[in-house]
Chain A
């Protein structure tokens, strides 16, 4: 005799879901197995009992009347989608119009957002350039010497310890004619900032080093302002902006050296 019938087979048997061959096999087994026969019987008794017990609630008469009324109302005043036979794409013109309007709305919202983002970035940049130039001019105008006066990078860098929540490197080799004059602790955009003072020939240069605030790595589009050249770069943690009235190429040369110094030693 084959193995006993599984409960899946017994359920399918009670529900009349066995295929012809499965049914034949099950019948064959049941003919010789009283245990499975009694289980199969129990299964169909349970099914018929739940079928009776499950029929428990009858709809109240008013519900049937209300639904019949609804159905006949709908029949006498068919909605537009029901009145028009389905054509082609099977979607009413109202649907397409609504979809198009929604699409238009989404596109315009997207564009508006992009535009606001761009203008806010542009105004941020313009604000930074103005602030940097003001600080540079104020430093030039002041008669007082820098807070730390030294041409030695090993003096200037440690001076910022405990004054700034970040650190940076100063280049060892400066381009010819360029000297380090000293440094100030200052504030840019409400953040503590190192202002490094260099001279290129007789031109004075301010290099502002501060912690990067946003995760944005893209280069800022910095412009000239009031005759001063403004340039800069960003590393993973720092944002550096240099301002001077010197020839832009020489200014870039200096910032290039500073940028190289920030790279981790190999």
Chain B
């Protein structure tokens, strides 16, 4: 299991397992948060996190010291999720990405990007303050787009780390991020301004 050796500040001293505790326990909140998002169910998420911990503990020998522990354990979480009931169900509905895009299943039909780009940012600003609405929009994202947004925005991972966690090329990470954000903006704007032409002037109510 060769992780790319981007060195990030990780403590690396002491006997193996206590080192594992030191590394893994602080990540519990992050792992659990992403686990609930992915499995959409707190009980499944608990099982998922526990299984991830056990797998990581047993496989800790294969973890290369000095490399990125967070990316390593998130990859285990994600692979464990993929083989779980909810992961299988989610991935079964997700075929080839291009196919998805053609069928428009990456969330509700998007407004063409050009149209969004002409939109004034005030509209986004207003809607973005509505946390519940944004969360609802994230829930509607297809799993491949949701996970990339969670890793990038919430976990603040670098593109290279995301590529390692998801085991996809860097270019795919970038295109998924772009598509996820376009989809989010589209959903928020569709909600915000049903008749766009008439509403455009009064966007900063």
* Residues on A facing B (Cβ under 8 Å): 7-8, 11-12, 15, 17, 38-39, 41-43, 45-60, 63-64, 66-68, 70-72, 74-75, 78-79, 81-82, 86
Interface string of B141-158 (1 = CB under 8 A from A): 000000001101110101
Distance (Å) between the CB of B53 and the closest chain A CB?
A: 5
- B37 x A57 contact (CB < 8 A): yes
- A51 x B21 contact (CB < 8 A): no
Q: A45-B124, A63-B28 are in contact. Are A11 and B181 (CB under 8 A)?
A: yes
Interface size class of B (residues with CB under 8 A): 35 or more
Q: A50-B149, A59-B28, A74-B57 are in contact. Are A42 and B177 (CB under 8 A)?
A: no
Distance (Å) between the CB of B48 and the closest chain A CB?
A: 11
Among the stretches B4-12, B130-138, B192-200, the one at the interface with A is B130-138
Q: A56-B33, A56-B37, A70-B57 are in contact. Are A63 and B49 (CB under 8 A)?
A: yes
Q: A45-B121, A86-B61 are in contact. Are A54 and B128 (CB under 8 A)?
A: no
Distance (Å) between the CB of B73 and the closest chain A CB?
A: 12
Q: A7-B113, A67-B50, A68-B25 are in contact. Are A50 and B154 (CB under 8 A)?
A: yes
List chain B residues, Cβ under 8 A from A11: 174, 177-178, 181
Q: A11-B181, A12-B174, A58-B29 are in contact. Are A42 and B121 (CB under 8 A)?
A: yes
B interface SS class = helix
- B45 x A57 contact (CB < 8 A): yes
User: What's the Cα separation between A82 and B33 when bound, in Å?
Assistant: 29
User: What's the Cα separation between A64 and B28 when bound, in Å?
Assistant: 7
Q: 10 interchain pairs (CB within 8 A)?
A: A42-B185, A45-B125, A53-B134, A56-B36, A56-B37, A57-B32, A63-B50, A71-B53, A75-B17, A82-B58
- B154 x A51 contact (CB < 8 A): yes
List chain A residues, Cβ under 8 A from B68: none
User: What's the Cα separation between A8 and B153 when bound, in Å?
Assistant: 16
Q: Does B66 contact A (CB under 8 A)?
A: no
- B150 x A54 contact (CB < 8 A): yes
Q: A57-B42, A86-B61 are in contact. Are A63 and B32 (CB under 8 A)?
A: yes
User: What's the Cα separation between A68 and B181 when bound, in Å?
Assistant: 37
List chain B residues, Cβ under 8 A from A43: 181
User: What's the Cα separation between A12 and B16 when bound, in Å?
Assistant: 37
